[in-house]
């Protein structure tokens, strides 16, 4: 197990206020020493101890690896034609998911695995070092198990989303499908998942159905997440808070009461700007949430229908431009915020003891992630103390 010295860092984002300036804990002329997958030393570059290997940042900015707490990487097919139609004026509805369900059921596990792995690799190259991956395009017991096995090959942050939509063979019998999800499907999937998630929205599952699935999942030992209030006002956020879910995701249509509930809870509001972007929906105000004391995360929602991007720098830029986050808040939300949304204390920061996951930016400051949208700014990626991407 060799150590790595990452030195001559022009600006280091630690996300630990005790290590530097402001909420991001910013330091100038800094260095990190990484060993056995952890950060073991943080300080001034001039004082850095020697290590087995060295990565010279040459004055660049270094940030914690991105924590993408919401993706749907396991699927087959794409929905480019649906995107084009939507951009020509057709609205987005939850039912489009059925297209991907049919393609996913028909795909081999080998093909599902290679497709998901390619997307995870794409995310890594863009700086994502921790990623959550959901099932939800199988929607039979066997296909949800298959999708979670694929997800488990990519990450420990696996989420059972059997309650994504009601599949076509259960049309008009959503309570029967809910019983399957909360019963036999959950029993088969719980050993493969850390989390359970429900799409609680119009066209998907109502509050009672969502509560049934989530309550059973909690009994089965899973943590809880909710797709909430994306397509319209609804009960998703209140349910997430009621059940102490780790995260309520989307939060596009919130009442004042929803915002107050989130502000008084441990439930993170995870904003998914790629979804509003790709469905041409109005963006929620992240500013309103932050001003109410809500913890905000940013995630990609990577999926073939409504947000086909793995790129958190893109999400940061959109969140700053359209959701009222400052560049500092957006970088925090895509790193430390994502970690909170996964209830992880070992990622999303670069303090001693944290995981050795860091991104060297081809930029002098983290501000450039929002300031230079669309520009590939990832110089190199360190994960678990190893340099896994070297673009420089």
CB of 309 to Zn ion, least distance (A): 12
Q: Which is nearer to Zn ion, 6 or 150 (CB)?
A: 150
Sequence-separated contacts (24+) of 85-91 with Cβ below 8 Å:
86/278, 86/279, 86/280, 87/280
CB of 335 to Zn ion, least distance (A): 20
Q: Which is nearer to Zn ion, 137 or 177 (CB)?
A: 137
- CA-nearest of 185, 198, 186 to 229 is 198
For residues 20 to 59, the per-residue mask of contacts with Zn ion, x marking binding by CB under 5 A and - elsewhere, is: ----------------------------------------
CB of 182 to Zn ion, least distance (A): 20
Q: Which is nearer to Zn ion, 143 or 301 (CB)?
A: 301
Q: Which is nearer to Zn ion, 144 or 301 (CB)?
A: 301
CB-facing half-sphere around the CA of 284: CA atoms within 13 A: 29
Site for Zn ion in 293-322 (CB under 5 A): 301
Distance of alpha carbon 255 from alpha carbon 251, whole angstroms: 10
* Secondary structure (DSSP) of 138-167: --SHHHHHHHHHHHHTT-SEEEEEEESS--
CB of 181 to Zn ion, least distance (A): 16
Q: Which is nearer to Zn ion, 258 or 301 (CB)?
A: 301
Q: Which is nearer to Zn ion, 16 or 301 (CB)?
A: 301
- Contact between 157 and Zn ion by CB under 5 A: the answer reads no
CB-facing half-sphere around the CA of 217: CA atoms within 13 A: 33
Question: Which residue's Cβ lies closest to Zn ion?
Answer: 301
CB of 6 to Zn ion, least distance (A): 34
Number of residues that bind Zn ion (CB under 5 A): 1
Q: Which is nearer to Zn ion, 68 or 357 (CB)?
A: 68
Are 206 and 199 contacting, i.e. CB atoms less than 8 angstroms apart? no
Distance of alpha carbon 194 from alpha carbon 200, whole angstroms: 19
Query: Encoding tokens for residue 57?
Result: 């940042």
Distance of alpha carbon 213 from alpha carbon 28, whole angstroms: 48
Q: Which is nearer to Zn ion, 112 or 382 (CB)?
A: 112
CB of 110 to Zn ion, least distance (A): 25
CB of 70 to Zn ion, least distance (A): 6
- Residues whose CB falls within 8 Å of the CB of residue 75, separated by 6 or more in sequence, listed in order: 100, 103, 104, 112, 115, 116, 137, 303, 304
Residue 170 three-state SS: helix
CB of 319 to Zn ion, least distance (A): 16
Binding residues vs Zn ion (CB under 5 A)? 301
């Amino acid at each position: 197990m060799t150590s790595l010295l990452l030195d001559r860092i022009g600006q280091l984002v630690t996300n630990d206020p005790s290590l530097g300036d402001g909420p991001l804990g910013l330091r100038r002329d800094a260095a990190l020493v990484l060993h056995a997958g952890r950060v073991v030393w943080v300080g001034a570059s001039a004082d850095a101890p020697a290590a087995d290997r060295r990565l010279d940042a040459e004055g660049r900015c270094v940030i914690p690896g991105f924590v993408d707490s919401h993706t749907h990487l396991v699927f087959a097919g794409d929905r480019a034609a649906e995107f084009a139609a939507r951009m020509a004026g057709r609205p987005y509805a939850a039912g489009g998911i059925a297209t991907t369900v049919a393609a996913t059921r028909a795909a081999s596990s080998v093909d599902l695995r290679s497709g998901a792995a390619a997307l995870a690799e794409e995310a890594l190259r863009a700086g994502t070092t921790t990623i959550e991956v959901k099932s939800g395009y199988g929607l039979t017991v066997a296909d949800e198990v298959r999708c979670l096995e694929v997800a488990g090959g990519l990450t420990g942050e696996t989420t059972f989303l059997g309650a994504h939509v009601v599949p076509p063979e259960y049309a008009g019998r959503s309570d029967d499908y809910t019983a399957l999800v909360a019963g036999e499907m959950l029993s088969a999937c719980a050993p493969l998942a850390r989390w359970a998630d429900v799409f609680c929205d119009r066209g998907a599952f109502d509050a009672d159905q969502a509560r049934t699935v989530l309550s059973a999942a909690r009994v089965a030992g899973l943590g809880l997440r909710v797709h909430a209030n994306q397509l319209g006002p609804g009960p998703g956020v209140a349910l997430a808070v009621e059940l102490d879910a780790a995260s309520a995701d989307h939060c596009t249509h919130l009442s004042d009461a929803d915002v107050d509930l989130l502000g008084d809870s441990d439930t993170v509001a995870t904003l998914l700007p790629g979804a509003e972007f790709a469905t041409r929906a109005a963006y929620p105000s992240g500013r309103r949430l932050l001003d109410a004391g809500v913890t905000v995360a940013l995630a990609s929602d990577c999926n073939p229908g409504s947000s086909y991007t793995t790129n958190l720098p893109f999400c940061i830029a959109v969140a700053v431009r359209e959701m009222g986050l400052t560049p500092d808040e957006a970088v925090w939300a895509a790193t430390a915020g994502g970690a909170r949304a996964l209830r992880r204390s070992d990622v999303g920061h670069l303090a001693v003891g944290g995981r050795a996951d860091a991104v060297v930016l081809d930029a002098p400051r983290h501000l450039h992630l929002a300031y230079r949208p669309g520009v590939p700014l990832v110089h190199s990626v360190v994960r678990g103390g190893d340099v896994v991407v070297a673009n420089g």
